[in-house]
Structure 1
Amino acid sequence: MSFVESDLGATLGIVLTVLVVYELVLMLPMRLRVRRLRRRALSYERALDSMHEAMQEFAKRLKQDRERANAQLVRLEERIAQLNLRTDARPYEQAIALAEHGAEQKSLSRTLGLTQGEAKLVSLLHGGRTRPSDTKEV
């Protein structure tokens, strides 16, 4: 065996030793870390998918709740409109009842918020005899 061949063999041995040490010291821990990071990323991806599904379900329920609330709001608005119609007629009903019991026009106007013309009309239609003092406008 010649000097060149033995030197080449020794060099290859050193290079091989350096590569093995490099693999053991630097690359193996790095590969293990990459493997752990991949598992972690997969775990995060599953958790994210689960959260996404939960958010979609939440959005669906929220939409249903909003639709129910809107339907209730429409019903309440209709009910309020009906009640307003009833209360709009109520002063006239009260004025008629009071006029039938002899209330004066001024009293109807003052207590029920009717205009003088409205009070006079209710009094003429539903009241007893009109007194001269009631027909004067104030």
Structure 2
Amino acid sequence: MQLIEEMALHHENQGLSRIAGRIIGLLMVSQEPLSSEQIATTLQVSLGSVSTNMRILLKSGIAEKKSVTGDRVSYYIVAPDAIEEEFIQGLERILSLKNIIEKGMQIENLKESELVMQRFHEMLEAIELYRESLNQMLAEWKSRRM
């Protein structure tokens, strides 16, 4: 459970709810797909909370739904490419910052400050390097997994 709580705190720092992070942690250490009821019982949270957070994890691509023939219950696993999705989401957060910086560069009174414009340009350069490096790393990772 300690590892699950550490995963929860990590994902909470990344913008997810703590419960979503706990679900990710639980799914990562589980040998088998888990139902919502199993997740709720293990984490001692409500079924509604599991349902809400599971929708977020499914939409983000971090978790996947699995079905069992003859069983109407839905089961969940960590998506095989969950780490790639986490990297992509980190890139999306950085690109959001890039958009804000670019807007700031259009503000007339900020354009007058050489120091501010230098900061903006350095940030944009770092963001571009991050984007390029992440794209290279993801391509390398995909080729290793095949």
Q: Which has the higher strand share?
A: 2
> TM-score, length-normalised on structure 2?
0.26
Indicate the structure (1 or 2) with the bigger Cα radius of gyration.
1
Higher helix share: 1
- Normalising by structure 1, what TM-score? 0.27
